[in-house]
Structure 1
Amino acid sequence: MRTPFKLHIVDWSNRRTYQDHLERYFRIRYEIYVIGRNWQDIDRPVPLEIDAFDTRDAIYLLGIAGSGNIVAGSRLVPTTKPHLLSDVFPMLARGAPPRDAHLYEWTRFFIVPSLRMTGGSSQAAGIVLCGLLEACLRLGIGKLSVVCEDFWPARLEQLGWSVTRLGEVLDHPHGRIVALLIDVDGGALQSTRAAYGLGNTSALTGAGA
């Protein structure tokens, strides 16, 4: 099946190749999180949403359409380094966020508004979720941690993902949030592909991977 975009794996080693895409990616993050969701605590003098965890250790999954436009994205941060759960929300993991060389934190998952679907999860979201799992399997990442809204555990479990809640739900100005630990495996990838009707088509491009 032909999909509207592919995910590119971008890290410190190939960032120069994607320099323009990364700048647009940070601009879209600003539009979504600062303007769209009104996260004023991460506002900056320039319209780029870059936080303390956008370091040389971060891995970006950029959804790039055939036109070259950024239409989706996600970020992976090693838990052996500072990350959102350890440095900002340790209380969501009862003060003991898990750390491991094969455990990465998943953050900044977005789809541009034009590819979203009212009242449900769009195919674009499925492409990013499948691409995330594919990238983790390719990179040897066995588990993910994530700080997310409290509706996500049930949604991921419906897709066949193995999810463990690390603590209680927290009422936060940005919504009710919870920390999760997610197992990465081929079974979750296959069930997610099936749920979104993606067949066996890879969500990743060979470039930058």
Structure 2
Amino acid sequence: MFKMHIVDWSNRQAYQDQLERYFRVRHEIYVSGRQWRQIERPIPLEIDAFDTNDAIYLLGIEDDGTIAGGSRLVPTLKPHLLSEVFPMLVDGEPPRGADIYEWTRFFISPSLRRSGSPSRAAGVVLCGLQEASLSLGIGQLSVVCEAFWPARLEQLGWSVTRLGQVLNHPDGRILALLIQVSEEALASTRLAYGLDDASVIA
């Protein structure tokens, strides 16, 4: 099974090829697959306003360099999706803090998805998210997501707070959450996906 790699500004040069593949997979999933036309560009790379020098990428990389899955973390003290695009999803002000990051662009490569059953690849990416957040000193994650996600995360043992009401959006029913990062959530996610206690971070 693949490992998750933490990529930030300090080591981005070493991951240039993998990052380009990652942006191509994002285009395949979000533009070609989900038809998110507002982020379509002339080239088949899905890059938005929050892919900045401050972004942290969690890349699931197979031994042959294939991108198996990914996520992005953006510091909430900087402009991010919830603060700039979807503040209406929050009752009050979007949460901000040095230890609060926004989680976006979670995906599993289409070839690794399993219809009707949990994908072990999804477990690796979700465990990687919790594990990387713990190692980076991130205590909470905000996220804009589809309305089915809170129940799914709670089933995994994650502590989730709904920040506002569900919004009917052209891309589906969405809402904002605040997620607690914890060793307990990491352990319960490993158990749910049948993963051992070994680190999923490279």
What TM-score bracket applies, with the shorter chain setting the length? Answer: over 0.9
Match of 1:166 in 2: 163
Counterparts of 1:176 and 1:58 in 2: how far apart (Å)? 26
Amino acid in structure 2 at the alignment position of 1:96: E
Mean alpha-carbon deviation: is it higher for 9-18 or for 116-125?
Answer: 116-125
2: CA distance between counterparts of 1:155 and 1:82? Answer: 27
Of residues 170, 184, 188, the one that matches 1:187 is 184
Distance (Å, rounded) in 2 between the aligned partners of 1:33 and 1:54: 15
Report the AA paired with residue 17 of structure 2. Answer: D
Indicate whether 1:56 and 2:53 are aligned. Answer: yes
- For residues 118 and 177 of structure 2, the distance between their equivalents in structure 1, rounded to whole angstroms, comes to 20
Please, what is the CA RMSD of the aligned residues? 0.7
Shift of 1:134: 0.3
Q: Percent identity?
A: 72
| 3-state SS, counterpart of residue 127 of structure 1 | helix
Q: Which residue of 1 aligns with 2:90?
A: 93
**Aligned match of 2:64:** 67
Q: Secondary structure at the match of 1:33?
A: helix
Residue of structure 2 in register with 1:157 after alignment? 154
Q: TM-score with structure 1 length normalisation? A: 0.95
In 2, distance between residues paired with 1:37 and 1:120?
Answer: 21
The residue number in structure 1 matching 2:24 is 27
Equivalent pairs, count: 202
Provide the rounded CA distance (Å) in 1 between the counterparts of 2:129 and 2:30: 20
Give the distance between the partners of 1:129 and 1:71, measured in 2 at CA.
13
Q: Distance in 2 between matches of 1:158 and 1:23?
A: 34
Give the Cα separation in 2 of the matches to 1:121 and 1:45. 35
Structure 1 unaligned runs (5+)?
none
Per the TM alignment, residue 68 of structure 1 is displaced from its structure 2 partner at its CA by 1.3
Corresponding residue number in structure 1 for 2:121: 124
Distance 2:38 2:92 in 1: 23
SS in 2 for 1:98: coil
The 3-state SS of whatever aligns with 1:146 is strand
Letter in 2 for 1:87: E
The CA deviation string for residues 102-128 of structure 1, in whole angstroms up to 9 with x for no partner, is 000000000011100102330000000
Pairwise mapping of residues 110-149 of structure 1 onto structure 2 (< 5 A)? 110-149=107-146
The residue number in structure 2 matching 1:200 is 197
Shift of 1:67: 1.1
Query: CA offset at residue 203 of structure 1?
Result: 1.0
Give the aligned residue type for 1:23: E
1:47 is the counterpart of 2:56: no
CA deviation vs aligned residue, 1:118-155 (integer Å, no higher than 9, x gap): 02330000000000000000000000000000000000
